[in-house]
């Protein structure tokens, strides 16, 4: 079992108005085999947490730690984090002109594992994964995400997840922009990757609809850069009914946070 541990994490960014603190003391522990859902309103810091774990240079860690099995993640470069087992499914996957899907996937797998996969087995695995995610076989020869629809880009993110087999998958609003059918296909892919028990999942979302297909073990509510409430799947059901209004005031959030720590 592997553990990704975040302790008292404070993160800031530089803006035209000066330095702005986004994360204000986030602590979270994820183990392989677990699914954690992070929910909260826009601007609460959810995507900042994902980007910080992955190593985006815009986000400056001012205090706190992130460790993977005791190793300092913050001391690792982005590629070292990937090789250590951290995977980020991006909210807005980028296009990579001039790089075919076939070359990208095999090159990335080789870099992560330290050796090239056997071609015959690899080709079979890629074709099988693409078929399960309902990605047309012709996409293998197209450039990465170039001209893909939003839903197609999200399926390609989960294709990478299934093929790369990380220890921890961070899914940053993977459900955004998906219709019902695409949401089910993407969720099935995440569940297949999770079934081995060798992967932990951090699922970031605004809405509960994806949680109908990917069942969380734990739900964490983010407001103003802090975790203000934690619970099981029932917490997501309550958010579906009540929304985030009860967390709207700073005093309310502080009260909830204090109660959670008591």
DSSP assignment of 18-60 equals EEEEEEEEEEEEEETT-EEEEE--TTSSHHHHHHHHHT-TTPE
> How do residues 180-199 score in pLDDT, each as one tens digit?
999 999 999 999 999 887 89
Q: How confident is residue 207, by pLDDT bands cut at 50, 70 and 90?
A: confident
> Does the pLDDT value for residue 258 go beyond 80?
no
Q: In what order do the strands lie in the sheet with 60-68?
A: 18-31, 3-15, 60-68, 71-72
> Does the pLDDT value for residue 251 go beyond 60?
no
Per-residue model confidence (pLDDT) at position 123? 93
> How do residues 20-41 score in pLDDT, each as one tens digit?
999 999 999 999 999 999 998 8
> Does the pLDDT value for residue 256 go beyond 60?
no
Pairing of strands 60-68, 200-205: unpaired
Q: What is the three-class DSSP state of 244?
A: coil
Q: How many residues does the chain have?
A: 262
pLDDT: is 240 or 46 the higher one?
46
pLDDT: is 159 or 244 the higher one?
159
Q: How confident is residue 201, by pLDDT bands cut at 50, 70 and 90?
A: very high
Q: How confident is residue 246, by pLDDT bands cut at 50, 70 and 90?
A: confident
**Rounded CA gap, 228 and 220, in Å?**
8
* Dihedral pair phi/psi, residue 186, rounded to 5°: -65, -45
pTM of the predicted structure, to 2 decimals: 0.89
CATH code, domain with 206: 3.40.50.300
Q: Total structural domains in the chain?
A: 1
The percent helix, strand, coil of the chain (3-state, each to 5) is: 40, 30, 30
> How do residues 103-141 score in pLDDT, each as one tens digit?
999 999 999 999 999 999 999 999 999 999 999 999 999
Whether residue 109 contacts residue 117, with contact meaning beta carbons closer than 8 Å, is answered with yes
Q: How confident is residue 244, by pLDDT bands cut at 50, 70 and 90?
A: confident
Q: Determine the average pLDDT of the residues in 168-188.
A: 92
Residue 11 structural domain: 3-260
**Rounded CA gap, 159 and 189, in Å?**
8
Q: What is the three-class DSSP state of 178?
A: coil
The three-point CA angle 128-133-135 to 5° equals 85
């Amino acid at each position: 079992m592997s553990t990704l541990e975040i302790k008292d994490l404070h993160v800031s960014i530089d803006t035209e108005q000066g330095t702005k603190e986004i994360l204000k003391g986030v602590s979270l522990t994820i183990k392989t085999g677990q699914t954690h859902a992070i929910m909260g309103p826009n601007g609460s810091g959810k995507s900042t947490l994902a980007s910080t774990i992955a190593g985006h240079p815009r986000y400056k860690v001012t205090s706190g730690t992130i460790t993977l099995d005791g190793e300092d993640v913050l001391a690792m470069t982005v590629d070292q984090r990937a090789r250590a087992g951290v995977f980020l499914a991006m909210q807005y996957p980028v296009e990579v002109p001039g790089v075919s899907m076939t070359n990208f996937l095999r090159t990335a797998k080789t870099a992560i594992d330290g050796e090239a996969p056997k071609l015959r087995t690899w080709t079979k695995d890629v074709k099988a994964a693409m078929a399960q995610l309902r990605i047309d076989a012709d996409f293998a020869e197209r450039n990465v995400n170039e001209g893909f629809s939003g839903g197609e880009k999200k399926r390609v993110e989960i294709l990478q997840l299934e093929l790369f087999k990380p220890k921890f998958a961070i899914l940053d609003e993977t459900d955004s922009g998906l219709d019902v059918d695409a949401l089910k296909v993407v969720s099935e892919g995440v569940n297949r990757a999770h079934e081995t028990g060798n992967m932990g999942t951090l699922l970031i979302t605004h809405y509960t609809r994806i949680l109908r297909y990917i069942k969380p073990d734990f739900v964490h509510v983010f407001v103003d850069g802090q975790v203000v409430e934690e619970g099981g799947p029932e917490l997501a059901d309550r958010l579906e009914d009540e929304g985030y209004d009860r967390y709207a005031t700073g005093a309310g959030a502080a009260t909830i946070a204090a109660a959670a720590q008591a």
